[in-house]
A and B are shown apart, each in its own frame.
Chain A
Amino acid sequence: MLLRAESIVKRFPGVTALKGVSFDLRPGEIHALCGENGAGKSTLIKLLSGIHPYGSYEGELFVGGRPARFHSIADAEAAGIAVICQELALVPEMTAAEHIFLGVEPKRRGLIDWPRVYRQARELLERFGLDIDPHVKAKDLGAGRRQLLEIVKALRKESKILILDEPTSALTETETEILLGILKDLRKRAALSGRGEHLPSEDCGPKAAALSGRGEHLPSEDCGPKAAAPPPGLSVGGTAREENGPRAVSCIYISHKLSEVFAVADRITVLRDGASVTTLDAARTDQREVIRHMVGRDIEDLFPRRASKPGQTLLRVSGLDVAASGKDEPFLKGVSFEARAGEVLGIGGLMGAGRTELLMHIFGAWGRRLAGSVELKGRPLKGRPEEAIRRGLALVCEDRRRYGLVLGQSIGFNLSLASISRMTRLGLVDRPAEEEANARFFSSLRIKAPGRQAAVAGLSGGNQQKVVLGKALMTEPSVIFLDEPTRGIDVGAKLEVYEFVNSLTEAGKAVVLVSSELPELMGMSDRILMLHEGEIAGEFSREEAAAENLLAAAMGHA
């Protein structure tokens, strides 16, 4: 066992976050952690990475068979554990190479040896098949590339345990594939070096097993050639024996996207309510079983869409050409569609196809209109978000922490923020009216929090999303734009969001749903538009919508 956690209990004032979690990681495996938000995944990771120091929890951690007592993040890093976070901390003005060697810059006579930094960075990036120029600044890299850069950085740090927390939440599909490819490569390498462990050679076998992953400590003079044999395809530059040589790396992989989990994971451990429920062999289970363990019950229908009869057209978009502000080239080209009362219009497409931009533009928060018109309930709409909201349009953004919430404020503050101008008496906020409205949404959305005074920053993703939904709904919209409303939230909260969509359409509102997940798009939409490079590449009814058709349209092969 490379890493083992034994009956870990972690208490916070008033709440027990982990109630006996046991977990083990084998050398070279990819082990997925699944569980709803609040199941204890983050807490477990904070323990493994030294953020919650030894002594603040009960139970024992073992690394390489020995008890591990991390008192700080540095201790965990020294033991070879690297965490790649959901939210990345990169310095926008620093180059890729600078990031990779941040804090461990090779020096010559006390000064940084820049040629060497860039040479080694280039080699590393090439070895992982990444098309990233070491000189490019972080701010010029897309979210996906940044994520990959962070992983390269962790691997450079001689980490043997890589913890990836929702690594693909900001990645395009291509980038996700590259990432999953790298992880599979790492596993392949582990398998090869694993052969080294089973060598009958007495003097290096056990050591290699104990230190598997720490290539530089292997007695490579004696049994190195076999133990550290570079797998094909990973030895670009032929530097296998250098300090950055391939090593066995094990991964703990956390993702809400079960399809990804099944694409890479060897084993899956499910956490529920702070306890480890079960560990499953990925090859011998399926998504349904994992979900059942996660929520503790069977979910018959993941997408409980109840179609209702479409009514009159509420939103009509015709021939929209929109350029990003400051540019003349249209980014959205000739977009026309209608959204009708009581229907869910799904909008799909690849990352960068213009889905978010389309919603944001109609809402009045993005781009410059070159041609075309938007009509909301029969009257033209062009203006700022305040006008859109007043006219009955609501937008729930994809990035709720950035665009949706004032994190330092309370749930109540956020819920009523967009509607507060309507709740006044003689220019002053009508507190009783505000409280009444807040209480109504707080309970109908079933937001799990100690009270409406709780800060939104402390809520789980699903509950934060409910606050954003509540804020949008309180403005009493007739058309609601939902941009990736279930991103990063757990299965149970997803179901609640879907139920909300149902109740909205039943109340005669039009819902426009943007989603990157095809099953969600197909499962929840009555009609689907696929965008491709700013143009509508196809429209599908619920019956016509098959994954292949949608994907073909998204790639422009309609």
Chain B
Amino acid sequence: MQAKRLLRDFSAVLALLLIGGVFAALSPEFLSPRNLSMLMIELSTTALLALGMFLVILPGHIDLSVGSGVGLIGGIASVLVFRHHWPAPAAMLLAAGVAVAVWTAMGSIVIKQKMPAFIITLGGLLVFKGLFWLVIRNATVPVSQGGTSNLYSLLTTYYLPPAAGLLLAAAAVAALAWQELRPAAGPERRRDGASGVRPARRPAAAQEGRDFELRFLGVFVSAQLLFLFVLVMNRFRGVPLPIVILAAAALAVVVLTEHTPFGRYLYAIGGNEEAAVLSGIPVDRVVISAFAVMGAVTAATGFLQTAYAGASTTTVGELMELDAVAACVIGGTSLKGGRGTALGVLFGALIMATLLNGMTLLAVSPEFKFIARGLVLSLAVWLDTRLNKA
């Protein structure tokens, strides 16, 4: 029973260790700072998109159009920069604005016309793909004028100086410690008193002491891992910018889902939409907002993914929507809505990214890459349903 629960809670971690272990054994290159640095850049695009997808899946919808969207939005920005000589920030801002507007429109159609998101976004997938190819005219459009660098191209080529990386890690650890260890921290930790009236003080004191130790241990381990990460990154070129962007986005999603009414509403709508309406939740507005955020996330992912490729080409973003959905599902998000956590999604994305990175390193042919990814996804979901039955 206990073992099974542990297995369920940590199945994603175990799977990750297993996959990582196999790759490390098969290729010494896998754990090199250079490869880990690349893995982090690849992770940031997959995970970023998955976090956006998470916000749409939570209220019980889905977005299949984001893969094409990544290509299209990145393409609009690169065409503006390369062919029309716009400054990169302006081009990206406009493209992002377009994305938010288009996704808001899709969300509105889903809600107001009561169309299944699956259909609307499947349509989006095809339409955006066509528009993308029209916009770049089936050509390769670099993200910057020959050889120079701009904000767009720097997205995936900029690395934090080693000192800055360490400073950032220190700041993160300090924030974490303050959040977790300050005396009045986390009233929710004390809310498990059986009576519920007011937690009995005396017996709780011992419990609280142990709680504190556990939390301290958690902070300590996280701090070590964080510094280890920065040190490893610094042995290559430093902490890559995309991973900083991902960290910021992840923090935003965690706060959004766990600490705002908006997040509550996402869970409530996915759990029982009719009850949500009658609880006074502005369901329409919440779901449309989730799609709007998805648009912004798609734009950000589009810029990163295009910058990583160096140019818009017809294949940028292809099938990324499926990786995003897979990451959510592997991370324990229910496709019916109402269940899942941002942290789980990050783990799911890490598994998908690691799998792809390791196989590329081992020069696995594309055919088998597809097959392996499909099998891992099915296996993960099967395991999740099995373990959740207990």
Asked if A406 and B268 sit within 8 Å, CB to CB, the answer is yes
Which residues of chain A come closer than 8 Å to B280, judged between CB atoms?
A: 384-386, 388-390, 418, 475
The verdict on B278 contacting chain A, using a C-beta distance below 8 Å, is yes
Segment of B72-80, B191-199, B219-227, B349-357 engaged in the interface with chain A = B191-199
A–B complex contacts, Cβ < 8 Å, 8 sampled: A389-B279, A406-B267, A406-B338, A407-B272, A429-B264, A431-B186, A442-B197, A475-B280
Contacts of B196 in A (CB 8 A): 438-439, 442-443, 447, 451-452
Tell me if A453 counts as interface (CB < 8 A to partner B).
Answer: yes
How far is it, in angstroms, between the C-alpha of A365 and the C-alpha of B7 when the chains are bound? 44
Contacting residues, chain A, for B197 (C-beta < 8 A): 439, 442-443
Taking a contact as CB atoms under 8 Å apart, the answer to whether B277 and A420 are in contact is no
Q: Is B208 an interface residue (CB 8 A)?
A: no
Which of A404, A438, A439 contacts B275, CB < 8 Å? A404
A409 CB-CB contact with B under 8 Å: yes
A549 within 8 A of B: no
Q: Is there contact, CB below 8 Å, between B272 and A406? A: yes
Residue of B nearest to A423 (CB): B261
Q: Kindly list chain B residues whose C-beta atoms are within 8 Å of the C-beta of A442.
A: 196-197
With contacts A409-B268, A431-B187, A450-B194 known, is A365 near B260, CB below 8 A? Answer: no
- Please tell me if B237 contacts chain A, counting CB pairs below 8 Å: no
A109 and B41 alpha carbons, distance in the complex (Å): 62
Contact with A406, one of B188, B198, B259, B275 (Cβ below 8 angstroms): B275
Chain A residues with Cβ below 8 Å from B279 are 385, 389, 417-418, 471
Interface flag for A245 (CB, 8 Å): no
Q: Are A417 and B191 in contact (CB under 8 A)?
A: no
B277 / chain A contacts, CB cutoff of 8 Å: 365, 385
Residue pair A435, B191 in contact (C-beta under 8 Å):
yes
Is the pair A413, B282 in contact by a Cβ cutoff of 8 Å?
no
B contact residues around A365 at 8 Å (CB): 277-278
User: Interface digits, B171-188 against A, CB 8 Å rule (1 contact, 0 not)?
Assistant: 000000000000000111
A103 within 8 A of B: no
Interface residues of A in 196-217 (CB under 8 A from B): none
B265 to chain A, nearest CB (A): 8
B residues contacting the other copy or chain, number (CB 8 A): 31
Who on chain B is nearest to A453 by CB?
B192
CB distance from A407 to the nearest CB of B (A): 7
Q: Which residues of B contact A451 (CB under 8 A)?
A: 191-194, 196
**CB neighbours of B195 from chain A (8 A):** 443
Chain B residues within 8 Å of A438, by CB? 191, 196
Q: Decide if B191 touches A424 in the complex (CB within 8 Å).
A: no
A403: chain B residues at CB < 8 Å are: 274-275, 278
CB-based nearest A residue for B198: A439
Q: Give the complex CA separation of A447 and B194 in angstroms.
A: 11
Residues of B within 8 A of A418 (CB): 279-281
B90 interfacial contact with A, CB 8 Å: no
Q: Shortest CB–CB separation between residue B201 and chain A, in angstroms?
A: 14
B191/A452 in contact, CB under 8 A? yes
A395:B278 contact, CB within 8 angstroms: yes
- A66 and B186 CA atoms in complex are apart in Å by 59
Contact in complex: B275, A424 (CB < 8 Å): no
A365 to B193, CA, bound (A): 37
Q: Is the CB of B259 within 8 A of A428?
A: yes
Are A417 and B268 in touch, CB under 8 angstroms?
yes
Contact of B191 among A384, A402, A453 (CB under 8 A): A453
- In the complex, residue of chain A having the shortest beta-carbon distance to the beta carbon of B190: A435
The answer to whether B271 and A428 have CB atoms under 8 Å apart is: no
Please name the residue on chain A nearest to B337 by beta carbon: A408
A397 at the interface (CB under 8 A from B): yes
Which single member of A429, A439, A450 contacts B259 (CB below 8 Å)?
A: A429
Report B-chain residues with C-beta under 8 Å of the C-beta of A432.
Answer: 187
Residues from chain A with a CB closer than 8 A to the CB of B281 are 386, 417-418
Judge whether B276 is part of the interface by a CB distance below 8 angstroms: yes
Contacts of A395 in B (CB 8 A): 278
Say yes or no for A498: interface residue by CB 8 A criterion. Answer: no
Tell me, yes or no, whether B255 is within 8 Å of chain A by CB: yes
Question: Would A428 and B278 count as touching, CB distance under 8 A?
Answer: no
Interface presence of B369 (CB below 8 A): no
Is B34 at the interface (CB under 8 A from chain A)? no
Query: Contacts of B268 on A, CB cut-off 8 Å?
Result: 406, 409, 413, 417
Q: Mark A448-469, 1 if CB is under 8 A from B, else 0.
A: 0011110000000000000000
Residues of A contacting B275 in the complex (Cβ-Cβ under 8 angstroms): 402-406
Interface core residue of A405, A406, A421, A428 (most chain B CB under 10 Å): A406
Q: Is B373 an interface residue (CB 8 A)?
A: no
Q: How far is the CA of A390 from the CA of B280 in the complex (A)?
A: 8
Question: Residues of B contacting A408 with CB < 8 Å?
Answer: 271, 338-339
Cross-chain contact B191 with A428 (CB below 8 angstroms): no
The 7 A-B residue pairs with the shortest CB-CB distance, nearest first, are: A406-B271, A389-B280, A442-B196, A386-B280, A418-B279, A443-B197, A406-B272
Residues of B near A409 (CB, < 8 A) are: 267-268, 271, 338
Contacts of B276 in A (CB 8 A): 406, 417
* Cβ contact within 8 Å between B264 and A420: yes
Indicate if A363 sits at the interface (CB-CB under 8 A): yes
Choice from B187, B271, B272, B338 contacting A435 with Cβ under 8 Å: B187
What is the bound-complex CA distance between A402 and B274, given in angstroms? Answer: 7
Residue A110 at the B interface, CB < 8 A?
A: no
A427 within 8 A of B: yes
Knowing A412-B191, A443-B197, A451-B196, the reply to whether A385 touches B260 (Cβ < 8 A) is no
Give Cα A409 to B268, complex, Å.
8
Nearest-CB residue, chain B, relative to A408 = B271
B339 to chain A, nearest CB (A): 6
What residues on B are CB-neighbors of A428 within 8 Å? Answer: 255, 259-260
Question: A450–B261 Cα gap in the complex (Å)?
Answer: 26
Q: Which residues of the other chain, A, contact B188 by a CB distance below 8 angstroms?
A: 431, 435
Contact partners of B186 in chain A: CB under 8 A: 431
Taking a contact as CB atoms under 8 Å apart, the answer to whether B191 and A413 are in contact is no
Q: For the complex, what is the distance from the CA of A417 to the CA of B195, rounded to whole Å? A: 21
Give B188 Cβ to nearest chain A Cβ, in Å. 6
Max chain B CB contacts within 10 Å: which of A402, A413, A428? Answer: A428
- Asked if A385 and B271 sit within 8 Å, CB to CB, the answer is no
Query: Are B259 and A397 within 8 A (Cβ)?
Result: no
Q: How far is the CB of B388 from chain A (nearest CB, A)?
A: 12
B271-A407 in contact (CB<8A): yes
For residue B260, give the distance in angstroms from its CB to the closest CB of chain A.
6
B273 CB, nearest partner CB in chain A, Å: 10
Extra A-B contacts (18), CB below 8 Å, given A386-B280, A406-B267: A363-B278, A385-B279, A388-B280, A406-B271, A406-B276, A406-B338, A407-B271, A417-B268, A417-B279, A420-B261, A431-B186, A438-B191, A438-B196, A443-B196, A447-B196, A450-B194, A452-B191, A475-B280
Interface membership of chain B positions 244-288, coded 1 if the CB is closer than 8 angstroms to chain A and 0 otherwise: 000000000001000111001001100110111111111000000
How far does the Cβ of A185 sit from chain B's closest Cβ, in whole Å? Answer: 38
Chain B residues closer than 8 Å to A453, beta-carbon distance: 191-192
A365-B277, A427-B260 as given contacts; A384 in contact with B282, CB under 8 Å = yes
A385 and B264 contact, CB distance less than 8 A: no
Whether the pair A424, B261 counts as a contact (CB closer than 8 A) is yes
